[in-house]
Structures are given as C-alpha cells and as structure tokens.
Structure 1
Amino acid sequence: MNGICTLANDTVCDQLIALLNSIEIILGSNTPVCIYPFDDQIQQIKAQIANRPNVFIYEDSASIQRWDEFMQAAAPERLNRKKSRLYGAHRRFCAFDGPFAKFIYLDADTLVMNSLDAVFQKLELSDFVVYDFQFRDPTKVYNIQSPKLLEVFEQNRIDSQIFCSGFYGSKQGLFDQNTRDWLVAELQSGDAEILYAGAGEQPLLNYMVMKTGTNSYNFACSLPDSEKTGCSVTSPHFQTQDKILYDKGNRLTYIHYIGVQPDLIRRVCAGENIDFPYRDLFLHYRYLREPEKRPIFTEPLKSYADISGRSLLQRVLGRLRINL
C-alpha cells in the first residue's frame, strides 16, 4: 500500500487541518495518511482526525525509539529542546519503517495542489524523489567551509543532489539497521563536521541519501524550464485559479508555507488580521469542512513586517536565500 506521511503536533494543528483538507480534495478522501508525532502534544490532532477514517497517527513506539536513538547518536545537538524548536523533526524518518511500501512525505505547513501520481511513478525507477530548488543553496545543508566536505562528496553532487526535507517520496526499508549503524560510524569518525549546524533534520537526511548513494531524482533539475514550477510562499508571482496555484501557467505540485510561523497562523485563525503570502488560499483549505468558523477580520490589515520587523521574504531568504 502507498500513502502520504506528515509530521505534526498540536502547535501546527491548523496547518495540519489545511493539509489534510487539500489531500482530501486533490488526492481523494480515501487517500491513506499517516501522521508521525513530533512529540506527545497531539490531543487536538486526535480530536480533529476522529472523523477522518483515512488518517491515523503512527503508534509504533519501537520504531519511534529506534529513530530517536539514531538521531541521538548521529546528531545529538539537534535533540536539544532548549536550543532547537525542531528537536522532534527527525521522527519523519519513521516512514522508512512503514506503514507504506512507497510514501510521499509532506511537512504540515504544505498544501497539495496537484496529483502526486508522477512522484509515485518516479519511485518505480528511483528510491528517493524530490521537487525543490534547495540545491541552489548548499549552505543550509552542509558546512561549505569544512575542508572535509569535498573529501566526502564531489562538488557536482553538492551542486545537484541537495534537497529540502519538506517534500519527498521514498520507500519502506531504505535505511535498515545495518545502514544506520554504518552512517552513525561515519559521522562519528569525522563526517559530522560537514553538516550545517542548523535546520533540524534536513542536513542529516541529505547526508543519509547522498552518503549511501541512494538513487535519487529531482523534478526541479530534470523537467524542462517551461514545465517546472516553484513551491515556496516566497514566490510572489503564483496565480490563483479555482483555489489552485499556477506558476506561469503550470499547476504547482504543492505549496510550502515555509517561514510562516505556527504562532502567526494561530493568531490569524483566532481573528487577528495579519497578512501572509497566499493567506486566502490557506484559509480556504483550513476551513473547508467548517466554513462558518473561518475568521471574519474587523481590524485593519497588518503586514508580517508590522509584527516582526522583517518581511516574510527577508526572514525566509535569510535562512534559505532561495526565491522560487
């Protein structure tokens, strides 16, 4: 069985609801969806999915513990809750244990905009499939100042194989225990210095895929320029038609609300009139099942910069330096 995976806790409950509604509309109400628990705070999520028979929370505690232990051995600094808000982000790796033979992982702050059949089809030929432009900025995946980096990976691989961990397709069993043990040994023998010090689990997942020589495919590198699309809310030029986004006439596969913080989403859903890119689209999917609860804004519109001192674009590009 194939399915969709995501990672969530109650902090991103609004985003999760929007994602699940987009999956229901675009992919179908019978599409199986597995939610990996970011932490134990999932009471709101459990209530929200009670009437969604196709959605379930991953409860294999042994699998979760295995990946917690792997993360502790491979990159312990990313499990420091006081220093990193992304300390539980690695639990998306549980998808490599199951429950789907082939799966597509999406961050909770994404919306599906198109069929994902092409991604599943590519998984017939490749073991890892992505669609993003992170390869244009390796500095948020690897420590490019490390002299060891080019000893581990050739420059052409760094220039072409890096990806964002917010959307990818892969397969059950890709990283078995022996492979994980080998990866940990390589990291502890010196490879750890090549990883970017931030960004949660993303550097580690890139390392895992590239170090093992996993056969990967990126639509953003392979499609003709006339067909490829962006995927980030930092792109201001997407056009909305019938609640779907288009990039120069091409329908997006997904939209990633990267940089739009959960607290801002909560405030907007509570009725605070704060703008963010493609807000109406997000609110459409968030309240698709309960339109009567959609907030009615009575105060003047405030921009993201009004409450943060920086525009969303400045904030995200400060981390990614990508605008596509």
Structure 2
Amino acid sequence: MKNGIYTLANDLVYNQLVALLNSIEVNAGKDLPVCVIAYNEQIDKIRAEVASRNNVTLLENPDIFARWEEYSLKVWQSHPSAIQTWEERGIKKFYRVGENRRYCAFDFDSLFEKFIYLDADTLVMQPLDFIFEQLEHHDFVVYDFQYKDPAHIYNLQSPQLLEIFNQQQIDSEIFCSGFYASKRGIFPPEQRDWLLSKLNVGESDVLYMSAPNQSVLNYMRMRSNVSFYNFALNLPANKATGCCVTSPHFENQNYVLYDQGNRLTYLHYIGLSSKLFNRVCEGENIDFPYRDLFLHYRYLRQPEQQPKFTTKARAYNAPPSLTTRIFRKLGIKVEV
C-alpha cells in the first residue's frame, strides 16, 4: 500500500485506541488504512476491535519485531550506564522494550510506502493529505514544538552533544515521537550498523534514558542527515497550531479543535496516564483537559455506553484528600 497510518497499542490503551481510530475515520477518511502494531502480547481487546473495522489491520509478528528489539538492545548496551541502571530498577532487557516495535515501519518490506505514526493517546482533527504530500519533498516530516525542550530528547550535560550536532540542529531538528511521518527503507541495515558503530565509540552518552525510543529515533534521523521538515517551523506564525493537551486555549467546534481559528492536525494527550482514561470510561468522574472530546470519539459508535456524570468532577491533578494522606502515612494503599 502507498499511504497509511501506524499506531502502537495493547489492551491497557484500548479506550484511547478506539477514540483514535474513530477520529481518523471521521476527520481523516474512513478508507485511510491503519495498522495497529502490538505493543506486547496483551492484545485480546485490540484484536477484537481491529477485526470489527474494514480499514484496520493488526501486526503481531514476533519475527518482525525481533530485529528491532535486538538492535535497540545493542544501542543501549553501548551506553555507559543505561543497562545497569535499568537492571537495578528491575527492568528486564531495556526500558520500554515494546515501543521499539513501531520502527518496523522503516523496513523495506513494511506495509506502507509512506506512513504517519501516531501514538495511541492522540486524536486526529483533520485530513492528513498535506502531511503525505510533504513526504514528496522530505523523508521525515513532523508537526510539533519539541525543539523548544531538547532536555527530553538528549542528555544536555553530555560533552559529546555539541561535538555531534551543532546548536542550530538542536534548536530546529528535534521532534516528539508521538507524531511523525516518514518512508520505508530510510534506515537500511548498513546504516543502522554505521549508527551503532558511532554509538559504540562514545556517542551513546548523548541519549536520554527516560525516553529511550524517542531519543534514539531523534539521534538516528539527525545523525543520518535524513531530510527533515517541521510544519511548526515552516508555517506562518498565524497559521501554525499547537498539538498538546497542555494548551488550554484550543476551541472546540463540533468536536474539532481550533487554535486561533486554525484547525488542529492532531491533539496529543501527552503526560496523562492511560489509567486515567480507563477510570473515566469505567464511570469515575475525573476531569482532565479536553475530556469531552475524548469521550465523544471513544463512544462515537456506542453513545449509549458513554458514562453519564451527575456530580461535580474531581480534577485529575487535585491534591489527595486528608483521608488519603493519612492512609498513605500509615502505609495503606488506596486508589486515587
């Protein structure tokens, strides 16, 4: 297939995946192919949901995932302290192993010639044709403002960083891995081997351990000098939109968000735990930014199942109650 969307999910993010798939169908087109990549083996709900949709497929082939898992392990084995640090925390192999499965989209035998990757905690707000069209001119396309916060991409204390990348690159080429567009074949095996050789001679010190796959993907793209385009940096200031749930000023018009009159491309519920979405779907009246938008898309096909709230909502980031604080001091575990 020429164009399509990838996402990564397991049953823990089932509710968010349903909302994402519905938003794609309504706002980007019901015929746009979507491939859900299995994050791990906990995918019973995911498997059933995919089977109910004509345009959605599920990728759960362990042989395909194995080569990227092995490569990612070698990447982190080159790091001076990562593997030992994670082992001390009880983390097997390396942190967030399942996330690297998404990189099979870059393989020569992958499903889509050109693809957009979206995290499961996103909602699509408009057609994505303009993203695919930009891939005619660049091999990697993004739309975010992560370049303003390089500390969540690289280890800024590493003396190696400015020896590998210049300041202009760091200020303009960093991106969030929750949304990006690219092509299959841009990281062939020989290129991956070359990157690994660079990491093995000390460059791995620049990687950011708390977001391992995001850091590695940024490094791979920048170090390989893959052609790059960020709409946030290229659109006029009065046309570019935000994308993060942390922006409180988006306007909801018929369940589509607008930023200063411009339609968002996607909304990313970054920083909000999947457990929060699940608890709300189970009927807990917890408020969070753009909750109504999420619930609309989550229950678009099943409006009768949407939770009905009659009491005042509790803020998701509200401080714990006195009772909860007392229980915690006594060592009694409580759900909040």
TM-score by structure 1 length? 0.92
Task: Select the residue among 260, 273, 295 that pairs with 1:261.
Answer: 273
Q: Partners in 1 of 2:315 and 2:255 — Cα distance?
A: 22
Gaps of 5+ in 2: 322-336
Task: Select the residue among 225, 230, 234 that pairs with 1:218.
Answer: 230
1:179 CA displacement? 0.9
1:108 CA displacement? 0.3
SS in 2 for 1:246: strand
- Are 1:273 and 2:285 an aligned pair? yes
SS in 1 for 2:212: coil
**In the alignment, residue 2 of structure 1 is paired with which amino acid?**
N
Task: Select the residue among 82, 91, 98 that pairs with 2:101.
Answer: 91
**In the alignment, residue 99 of structure 2 is paired with which amino acid?**
A
Contact 1:132 1:230 in 2 (8 A): yes
Task: Select the residue among 155, 160, 165 that pairs with 1:143.
Answer: 155
Contact 1:90 1:200 in 2 (8 A): no
Partner of 2:241: 229
Matches within 5 A, 1:176-215: 176-215=188-227
**In the alignment, residue 106 of structure 2 is paired with which amino acid?**
F
- Are 1:119 and 2:114 an aligned pair? no
Q: Partners in 1 of 2:68 and 2:320 — Cα distance?
A: 35
Q: Partners in 1 of 2:167 and 2:130 — Cα distance?
A: 29
1:82 CA displacement? 4.0
Would the alpha carbon gap of residues 85 and 180 (structure 1) be closer, same or farther in structure 2, given more than 3 Å must change? Answer: closer
Please identify, of 256-265 and 52-61, the stretch whose mean Cα deviation from structure 2 is larger.
Answer: 52-61
Q: Partners in 2 of 1:289 and 1:302 — Cα distance?
A: 27
Q: Partners in 1 of 2:35 and 2:183 — Cα distance?
A: 14
SS in 2 for 1:209: helix
1:58 CA displacement? 1.2
Aligned length: 309
TM-superposition CA deviations, 1:206-235 (whole Å, max 9, x none): 000000000010001111001000000000
Would the alpha carbon gap of residues 170 and 179 (structure 1) be closer, same or farther in structure 2, given more than 3 Å must change? Answer: same
1:197 CA displacement? 1.9
Larger Rg: 2
User: RMSD of the TM alignment (CA)?
Assistant: 1.6
Matches within 5 A, 1:44-55: 44-55=45-56
TM-superposition CA deviations, 1:288-308 (whole Å, max 9, x none): 000111011244310012267
SS in 2 for 1:49: helix
**In the alignment, residue 135 of structure 2 is paired with which amino acid?**
L
TM-superposition CA deviations, 1:81-132 (whole Å, max 9, x none): 9447733111111111211000000000000001111110100000000000
Contact 1:4 1:105 in 2 (8 A): yes
Q: Partners in 2 of 1:308 and 1:193 — Cα distance?
A: 38
Please identify, of 104-113 and 177-186, the stretch whose mean Cα deviation from structure 2 is larger.
Answer: 177-186
Partner of 2:118: 106
Would the alpha carbon gap of residues 245 and 308 (structure 1) be closer, same or farther in structure 2, given more than 3 Å must change? Answer: farther
Please identify, of 45-54 and 81-90, the stretch whose mean Cα deviation from structure 2 is larger.
Answer: 81-90
1:193 CA displacement? 0.2
Q: Partners in 2 of 1:140 and 1:259 — Cα distance?
A: 13
Please identify, of 228-237 and 142-151, the stretch whose mean Cα deviation from structure 2 is larger.
Answer: 142-151
Q: Partners in 1 of 2:291 and 2:267 — Cα distance?
A: 12
Matches within 5 A, 1:246-257: 246-257=258-269
Contact 1:232 1:257 in 2 (8 A): yes
**In the alignment, residue 169 of structure 1 is paired with which amino acid?**
A
Task: Select the residue among 295, 298, 318 that pairs with 1:306.
Answer: 318
- Are 1:245 and 2:253 an aligned pair? no
SS in 2 for 1:71: helix
**In the alignment, residue 105 of structure 2 is paired with which amino acid?**
A
Would the alpha carbon gap of residues 253 and 109 (structure 1) be closer, same or farther in structure 2, given more than 3 Å must change? Answer: same
SS in 2 for 1:64: helix
Contact 2:29 2:127 in 1 (8 A): no
TM-score by structure 2 length? 0.89
1:188 CA displacement? 1.5
Task: Select the residue among 269, 293, 316 that pairs with 2:305.
Answer: 293
**In the alignment, residue 31 of structure 2 is paired with which amino acid?**
N
1:37 CA displacement? 1.1
